[in-house]
């Protein structure tokens, strides 16, 4: 049979995890290939770009959606198990699980929010209809935003798998890639560790080092929120160093109290949460590379227009 689309894969994938055990992606993919009776020829089919196998790519997207919508859990990289929500959905949806089903969960909208049609209602079974109503340009744009959103989520997951020391260096790498410190080899310095006095790094704002920006980096789980006392402590550290500028970067998010306090102090304190950090990594090519480029071309009407003198 032909390679199934990623939505058709969702329910069989969830059933494969229904035993409650942990399963590696490779074993899940092999089981699904058998269930769909895919031949070696089917498994060898590639995406039009030739950069990935079609079936593996679609299993990956099915896994991504189920994971982002909290139907499955990931105890460690490339290993998954079913979540309580997943069992509930299996009972409620005995035939098919697709985007229409997943659209009932708020996490679905959080994941797809960058889409151009995000203002349309998505919890009423109109997900597929909204896609069909879009123009080709809108679908391309929406697909790009969805790919970018998935990449950002993957980056955050990978950061959380690393050590705090790695994260501190990553933060400095991002700031340096943004142009702070110019091209000097010593433009950034990691200070984290015993005796860091409340800051994890410092980066020169210009090549001459006339001004510096102190950095605090918190690799916290997404469930943990940076609160006002955390920002107060950082501001106190800045005062201790007679510094006027600081950047507080976290993989989680900031409470309203934290953002309000940062905006009220005399020191210039910029807050960057996990979502913004991932977007900056993508924009400035930190931890990512260009896998593929597309050019959207249109007719050059000037080329087909007659000359000013009326010649054909």
Q: What average pLDDT does the segment 44-71 reach?
A: 92
Distance CA 182, CA 276 (A): 22
When comparing pLDDT for 136 and 78, which is higher? Answer: 78
* pTM of the shown model: 0.76
Q: Place 308 in a pLDDT band, splitting at 50, 70 and 90.
A: low
Over the stretch 251-301, which tens digit does the pLDDT of each residue have? 999 999 999 999 999 889 999 999 999 999 999 999 999 988 888 888 888
Is the pLDDT score of 25 beyond 80? Answer: yes
* Tens digits of residue pLDDT in 84-124: 999 999 999 999 999 999 999 999 988 876 443 434 444 44
**Domains annotated on the chain, with CATH:** 6-134 (1.10.10), 164-283 (3.40.1350.10)
Q: What confidence score (pLDDT) does residue 113 get?
A: 64
């Amino acid at each position: 049979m032909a390679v199934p689309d990623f939505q058709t894969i969702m329910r069989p994938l969830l059933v494969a995890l229904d035993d409650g055990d942990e399963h590696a992606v490779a074993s899940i993919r092999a089981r699904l290939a058998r269930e769909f009776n895919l031949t070696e020829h089917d498994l060898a089919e590639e995406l039009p770009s030739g950069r990935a196998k079609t079936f593996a790519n679609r299993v990956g997207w099915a896994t991504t959606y189920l994971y982002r919508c909290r139907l499955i859990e990931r105890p460690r990289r490339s290993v998954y198990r079913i979540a309580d929500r997943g069992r509930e959905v299996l009972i409620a949806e005995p035939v098919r699980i697709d985007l229409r089903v997943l659209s009932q969960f708020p996490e679905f909208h959080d994941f797809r929010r960058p889409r151009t049609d995000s203002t349309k209602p998505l919890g009423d079974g109109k997900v597929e209809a909204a896609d069909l109503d879009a123009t080709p340009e809108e679908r391309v744009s929406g697909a790009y935003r969805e790919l970018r959103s998935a990449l950002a989520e993957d980056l955050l997951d990978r950061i959380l798998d690393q050590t705090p020391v790695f994260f501190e260096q990553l933060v400095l790498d991002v700031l340096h890639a943004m142009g702070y410190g110019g091209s000097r080899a010593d433009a950034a310095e990691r200070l984290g560790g015993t005796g860091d006095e409340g800051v994890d790094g410092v980066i020169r704002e210009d090549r001459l080092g006339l001004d510096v920006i102190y950095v605090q980096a918190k690799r916290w789980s997404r469930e943990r929120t940076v609160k006002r006392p955390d920002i107060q402590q950082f501001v106190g550290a800045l005062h201790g160093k007679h510094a006027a500028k600081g950047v507080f970067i976290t993989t989680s998010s900031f409470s309203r109290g934290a953002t309000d306090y940062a905006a009220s102090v005399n020191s210039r304190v910029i807050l960057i949460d996990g979502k913004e950090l991932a977007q900056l990594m993508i924009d400035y090519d930190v931890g990512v590379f260009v896998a593929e480029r597309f050019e959207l071309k249109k007719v050059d009407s000037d080329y087909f227009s007659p000359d000013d003198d009326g010649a054909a």
